[in-house]
Amino acid sequence: MSSQIINALKKKVAKKTWDNWFSTFELKSVENDRVVFSVANLFIKDWLQTKYGAVINRAIVDAMGRELAFEIVFKEGDKQREEPIKHLNEGSLLKKKPLMISNLNDEYTFDNFVVGRENKALYEVALDVAHNPGKYNPFFVYGGVGLGKTHLLQAVAQETMINYPEKKVLYITSEQFMNDMIQSIKENNIQKFRDHYRKKSDILLIDDIQFLIGKKGVQNEFFHSFNELHDTGKQLIICSDRTPEELDNFHSRLISRFQMGMLMSIQQPEPSTRFYIAKQLARRESVNLPDDVARILADNIDGNLRRLRGAIIKLIVHSSVYNTQIDISLANQILQSFTNSTSSLTGRKPIDQIYDAIKSIMRVSREEIEGTSRNKEIVLARQLLMYVLKQHYGKSITDIARETGKQHPTVIHSIKKIDKSVMMGKGTTKLLYDDLVGMLSSSSAAV
């Protein structure tokens, strides 16, 4: 029954709308002639009530055969999803024809990718790969979180499918690769899995390869797939949040395979590029962002572009729910809530926000972190601070050393240490990190 209402609703809205606004929408209960839905974001709750109330009513009638009142509640405690469409990117895809329904985000195209000076060369090579698969093999792209790696990777996938409709293009995250592998082992069907990757794909795109750190068995399997594809001239494209050498504990033979192709980094966009990215991100939501608004956002939200996107979505939702214009004054308002929700001061730097978040989650103060105590908790807090600066805000080692007043080697050691726990996905360190990022994301991005 529950799935009927959701299914009826799904049929009534465009896919893009669904992905953007309904990704955390769930049916909670049907009681006393009342349907209760939950959603993990307050703004989206408002938005859905305002914009989709009538559609939801009709879906209920379709599924239940009569009218029932409904209510949408905000489900607290759930981590807000930083990017609802993320789920789209994570599925596997084996395509024969470009027109087949795919798990690729159809907005992640070359056309939608704004190119500044920083990433011009990268863009050109990516385009070249899509036109001449096999020319640069493997093509390895690395860089910080939210700088556009997945976007670019999927753009290559989509462009290749257009250029070579007969080729089979397989896009997958390394996590999905692992899941598929485990599933096939469970079903005693590893051969099918191998054929799927090694024989049935002409172009294999693997996103977020760093996920395989510490997973030797999967790396081994991947190594063999890699070799077989590479030896037969099939294009491999790999994304990572770090260079091959920084893939700690990776098989050295896999690292050297990565190094033998075309290795390129994705750079943080400059403010001038961010301006156009802001305009583009709004255009994707069918909104024309005034230049002055785009400028102020571009100047104030740097690093991770998901934060910029978050601010833009927040702006659009606000203006729609409260029926106000998207202008500088609204942008300032959003920016304030964007930068100060973990504190009462405006214009706070990421590091200050992290100090606040650490304090509320770990009960370790800024003074303790800045001090020299070797107390276990304090050391962990210090290391988490550096790691979050790197992973979540895309700061360089040099910047982190300067901002925290620590030595280069200390910073590198700290980041490595946390990274290992996070990548292994175990223990309190990982939980603390998730908590921190959840807190920082929900305070800085609406969705």
Q: Which x/- pattern, by CB under 6 A, does the window 148-177 give for ligand ADP?
A: xxxx--------------------------
Task: Evaluate the omega torsion of the peptide bond into residue 138 and state whether it is cis, within 30 degrees of 0.
Answer: yes
38 counts as binding Mg ion under rule CB under 5 A: no
Q: CB under 5 A: which stretch of 144-152, 243-251, 354-362, 428-436 binds Mg ion?
A: 144-152
Q: Estimate to the nearest angstrom the gap between the alpha carbon of 223 and the chain centroid.
A: 25
Euclidean distance between the first and the last CA atom of the chain, given in angstroms as a whole number: 28
Among 210, 280, 341, 365, binds ligand ADP (CB under 6 A): 280
Residue type, 159: E
Buried b (16+ CB within 10 A) or exposed e, 426-444: eeebeebbebbbbbbbbbb
Q: Are strands 262-265 and 139-142 parallel, antiparallel or unpaired?
A: parallel
The β-bridge partners of 72 are 37
Minimum distance of ligand ADP from residue 156's CB (angstroms): 12
Contacts 24+ apart (CB under 8 A), 217-222: 218/174, 218/177, 218/178, 218/181, 219/250, 219/251, 219/254, 220/251, 221/181, 221/194, 222/174, 222/177, 222/254
Nearer to ligand ADP, 218 or 305 (CB): 305
Is residue 201 at the binding interface for Mg ion, with CB under 5 A as the rule? no
Nearer to ligand ADP among residue 384 and residue 447 (C-beta): 447
- How many CA atoms lie less than 13 Å away from 288 in the CB half-sphere? 1
Strands 139-142 and 235-240: parallel
Residue 241 beta carbon to Mg ion: minimum distance, rounded to whole angstroms: 8
Least distance in Å: CB of 122 to Mg ion?
A: 15
160, two tokens: 């290749």
- Binding of ligand ADP by 306 (CB under 6 A): yes
When the beta carbons of 382 and 395 are compared against ligand ADP, the nearer one is: 395
Stretch that binds ligand ADP, among 21-29, 53-61, 187-195, 301-309 (CB under 6 A): 301-309
Comparison of 131 and 283: residue with beta carbon closer to ligand ADP:
283
Containing H/E element for 35?
Answer: strand 34-39
- Choose the binding region for Mg ion from 104-112, 142-150, 358-366, 380-388 (rule: CB under 5 A): 142-150
Query: Among all chains, which residue has been given the structure tokens 């992640």?
Result: 108
- Which range of residues in 20-28, 92-100, 273-281, 374-382 is near ligand ADP by CB under 6 A? 273-281
Q: Do residues 111 and 215 make contact, with C-beta atoms less than 8 angstroms apart?
A: no
As measured in angstroms, the least distance from the Cβ of 289 to Mg ion is: 24
CA–CA separation, 418 vs 53, rounded Å? 45
> Which amino acid is located at 384 in the chain?
L
Evaluate whether 432 touches 384 at the Cβ level (below 8 Å): yes
24 binds, among Mg ion, ligand ADP, none (CB under 5 to 8 A by kind): none
Q: How far is the CB of 87 from ligand ADP (least distance, A)?
A: 12
Residue with the shortest CB distance to Mg ion: 150
Is there a contact between 153 and 205 (Cβ–Cβ < 8 Å)?
Answer: yes
Instruction: Extract the tokens encoding 267.
Output: 């750079």
Among 102, 105, 150, 414, binds Mg ion (CB under 5 A): 150
Interface residue with ligand ADP among 60, 114, 381, 446 (CB under 6 A) is 114
State the angle between helix axes of 350-362 and 427-444 in degrees (0 to 180), rounded to the nearest 10: 130
Exactly one of 147, 205, 334, 335 binds ligand ADP (CB under 6 A); that residue is: 147
User: What is the spatial distance between Cα 208 and Cα 248, in angstroms, rounded to a whole number?
Assistant: 14
C-beta closer to ligand ADP: residue 230 or 274: 274
Q: Which residues contribute to the site for Mg ion (CB under 5 A)?
A: 149-150
Q: Which residues contribute to the site for ligand ADP (CB under 6 A)?
A: 108, 112-114, 145-151, 277, 280-281, 305-306, 309
